[in-house]
């Protein structure tokens, strides 16, 4: 007996696949109609087990396993695909909770997408519940050379001799001391923000060539924040920036919750999923 076709599927075409963008509870027709897929036409929905996967229909000539391996080596192609994928996930996140899929997760048919929704229903549903009403915000911190922590500011005691010794010691150990001070401030900032947020992740600092900053990044945190508490979170970032002049803080977002989900596939990225 043939399995029923997943709700929302396009007619089966062996030449096309389904690029998975993310999983939501449901999606409005208007969101689908106004959100461009990787190929420029509207994205579409595959529904199963009370969940909805949003996908792009893609030609396997360009998105099949061998083609993906080749294209993922092309930085220009990869950037275009990543931007288009993010645009879809971002549109979904603005409409409600979404579990973003890993980049380049492609299934041969909608049956494979539906199977993910069925097999991982409980996990995906629980994640959507946890993300509901919350947003991911990023905080990046950059070292400020020569800045002195407010708590460590010179008190002016000890006379001219003591002041000279302090200045001389600072000159001799400026680089090492600056790194230590920035690292301690970064840890304190992350701890304070994590205590306010629902969940937090501290990612590895970005290289200067990627961040574009003139000084080293020492904080690269992601924070899941309840929407009603966003104003307080922003105020906390400002307060921490004032408390720690040795690092420059930058608040970014909101972002889809990339840092707080497990992708809706347990298989390796970039592989085309074969139908059962």
Answer yes or no: is pLDDT of 126 > 60: yes
For residue 185, name the pLDDT band (cuts at 50, 70, 90): very high
Query: Which residues contact residue 27 at a Cβ distance below 8 angstroms, ignoring those fewer than 6 apart?
Result: 45, 52, 54, 92, 95
Q: Which range (43-47, 97-101, 211-215) has the least confidence? A: 211-215
Q: Which long-range contacts (CB under 8 A, 24 or more apart) does 111-115 make?
A: 111/3, 111/6, 111/275, 111/276, 112/18, 112/273, 112/274, 112/275, 112/276, 113/6, 113/18, 113/20, 113/46, 113/48, 113/53, 113/55, 114/6, 114/46, 114/47, 114/48, 114/49, 114/53, 115/48, 115/276
pLDDT tens digits for range 235-250 = 999 999 999 999 999 9
d(CA 45, CA 63): 19
Residues of the chain with CATH 3.30.70: 134-257
Per-residue confidence (pLDDT) for residue 160, from 0 to 100: 61
d(CA 41, CA 29): 14
DSSP 134-177: EEEEEEEEEE-TT---GGGS---TTHHHHHHHHHHHHHHTHHHH
pTM: 0.78
Mean pLDDT value across residues 152-180: 61
List the structure tokens of 268: 């390796």
Per-residue confidence (pLDDT) for residue 168, from 0 to 100: 62
d(CA 199, CA 131): 10
Per-residue confidence (pLDDT) for residue 155, from 0 to 100: 46
CATH tag, 134-257: 3.30.70
Judge contact between 246 and 183, C-beta under 8 A: no
Per-residue confidence (pLDDT) for residue 228, from 0 to 100: 96
Q: Which range (60-64, 77-81, 169-173) has the least confidence? A: 169-173
Q: For all residues of the chain together, what is the average pLDDT?
A: 85
pLDDT tens digits for range 79-124 = 999 999 999 999 999 999 999 999 999 998 899 999 999 999 999 9
């Amino acid at each position: 007996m043939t399995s029923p076709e997943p709700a929302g599927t396009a007619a089966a075409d062996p030449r096309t696949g389904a690029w998975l963008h993310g999983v939501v509870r449901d999606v409005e027709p208007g969101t689908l109609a106004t959100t461009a897929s990787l190929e420029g036409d509207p994205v579409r929905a595959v529904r199963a087990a009370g969940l909805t996967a949003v996908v792009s229909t893609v030609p396997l000539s360009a998105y099949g396993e061998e083609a993906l391996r080749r294209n993922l080596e092309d930085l220009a192609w990869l950037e275009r695909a990543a931007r288009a994928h993010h645009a879809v996930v971002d549109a979904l996140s603005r409409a409600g909770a979404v579990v973003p899929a890993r980049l380049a997760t492609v299934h041969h048919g909608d049956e494979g997408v539906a199977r993910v929704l069925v097999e991982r229903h409980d996990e995906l549903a629980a994640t959507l519940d946890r993300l509901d009403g919350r947003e991911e915000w990023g905080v990046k911190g950059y070292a400020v050379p020569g800045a002195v922590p407010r708590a460590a500011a010179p008190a002016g005691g000890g006379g001219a001799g003591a002041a000279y010794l302090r200045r001389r010691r600072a000159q001799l150990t400026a680089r090492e001391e600056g790194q230590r001070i920035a690292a301690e401030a970064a840890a304190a900032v992350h701890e304070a923000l994590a205590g306010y947020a629902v969940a937090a992740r501290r990612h590895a600092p970005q290289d200067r060539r990627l961040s574009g900053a003139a000084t080293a990044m020492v904080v690269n945190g992601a924070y899941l924040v309840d929407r009603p508490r966003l104003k307080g979170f922003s105020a906390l970032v400002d307060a921490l920036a004032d408390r720690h002049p040795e690092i420059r803080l930058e608040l970014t977002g909101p972002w889809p919750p990339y840092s707080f989900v497990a992708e809706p596939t347990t298989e390796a990225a970039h592989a085309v999923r074969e139908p059962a």
